[in-house]
Structure formats: structure tokens, C-alpha cells
């Protein structure tokens, strides 16, 4: 099975988040925010993995939206880590750019899927009305 670019990038991002988590714990002795960013940052790929086995288009869209929400939360934790001095500007810029790219990919997927879902529902409704 060919993996989507979004899924591949989300897995790569998860690896970066795991490494950031280790860095924060070991080098910065930060234990609270590191757990939060670990949870939200790795949840992006986990929800995309679930979306691959969705039972319906609506279920698929729901999982994609959850992944999108997790990118927003992860962005917030990254900003907090930068603003509180746990990561420097270079670290922030690099990992934040990856998170923003995922956000754009997921926004595109949600728009396309929502449009296709609406079109599909309209087609079904029209065919029932014409019966």
C-alpha cells in the first residue's frame, strides 16, 4: 500500500517530537510541557493511521479534523517552549515549519473531503427525489 505524503510527514514529525521530548527531559529537566507536546505531537500520526481504516467518509473526516486540531495544540506548546526559553529560535523555526506544513496538508484534506462528502450526499438526495 502506498502511503500518503501527509501520513509519511506526520510519522517523521512524530519522530522529531519524540526526540524533542527526550531533549526536554534529559537536558532541560522539563517534565510537564514535554509530556503535553509528546501527546499532541504524536497524536497527529496516530489519528491519521486511524483515518486509513475509517468505516465511512464521515469517520475519515473526523479523524483528519482531530489530527488538524492536534497540529494547533502542538504549535501552541512549541510557542510556549520557545517563549519560555526551553528551545531556541533555530529549534523552534525548524520544528514549527514541519508542524505548519502538516497543518496546511491537513487543511487541504479536510476541505477536499468535506466538499466530496457534500457532493456525495447531494447526489444521493437527488437520486432519491427522482425515484
20-38: pLDDT as tens digits: 999 999 999 999 999 999 9
Q: Tell me if the domain spanning 5-125 has CATH number 1.20.1440.60.
A: yes
pLDDT reported for residue 117 = 85
Question: How many CA atoms does the CB half-sphere of 38 hold within 13 Å?
Answer: 14
The residues, any chain, with a CB within 8 Å of residue 79's CB and separated by 6 or more, are 92, 96
25-73: pLDDT as tens digits: 999 999 999 999 999 999 999 999 999 999 999 999 999 999 999 999 9
Question: How many CA atoms does the CB half-sphere of 1 hold within 13 Å?
Answer: 7
Instruction: Please state, in angstroms and rounded to a whole number, the distance separating the CA atoms of residues 3 and 56.
Output: 19
Q: Which three cell numbers stand for residue 22?
A: 527526550
Asked if residue 41 lies in contact with residue 70, where contact means CB atoms within 8 angstroms, the answer is yes
Q: Which three cell numbers stand for residue 116?
A: 466530496
Q: Is the pLDDT of residue 128 over 60?
A: no
pLDDT band at 125; cut points 50, 70, 90: very low
80-117: pLDDT as tens digits: 999 999 999 999 999 999 999 999 999 999 999 999 88
Amino acid at each position: 500500500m502506498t502511503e500518503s505524503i501527509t501520513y509519511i510527514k506526520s510519522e517523521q514529525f512524530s519522530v522529531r517530537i519524540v526526540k524533542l521530548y527526550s531533549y526536554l527531559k534529559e537536558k532541560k529537566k522539563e517534565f510537564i510541557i514535554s509530556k503535553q507536546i509528546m501527546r499532541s505531537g504524536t497524536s497527529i500520526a496516530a489519528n491519521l493511521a486511524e483515518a486509513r481504516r475509517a468505516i465511512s467518509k464521515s469517520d475519515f473526516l473526523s479523524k483528519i479534523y482531530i489530527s488538524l486540531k492536534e497540529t494547533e495544540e502542538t504549535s501552541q506548546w512549541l510557542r510556549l517552549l520557545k517563549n519560555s526559553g526551553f528551545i531556541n529560535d533555530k529549534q523552534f523555526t525548524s520544528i514549527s515549519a514541519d508542524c505548519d506544513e502538516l497543518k496546511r496538508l491537513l487543511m487541504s484534506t479536510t476541505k477536499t473531503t468535506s466538499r466530496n462528502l457534500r457532493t456525495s450526499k447531494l447526489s444521493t438526495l437527488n437520486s432519491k427525489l427522482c425515484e
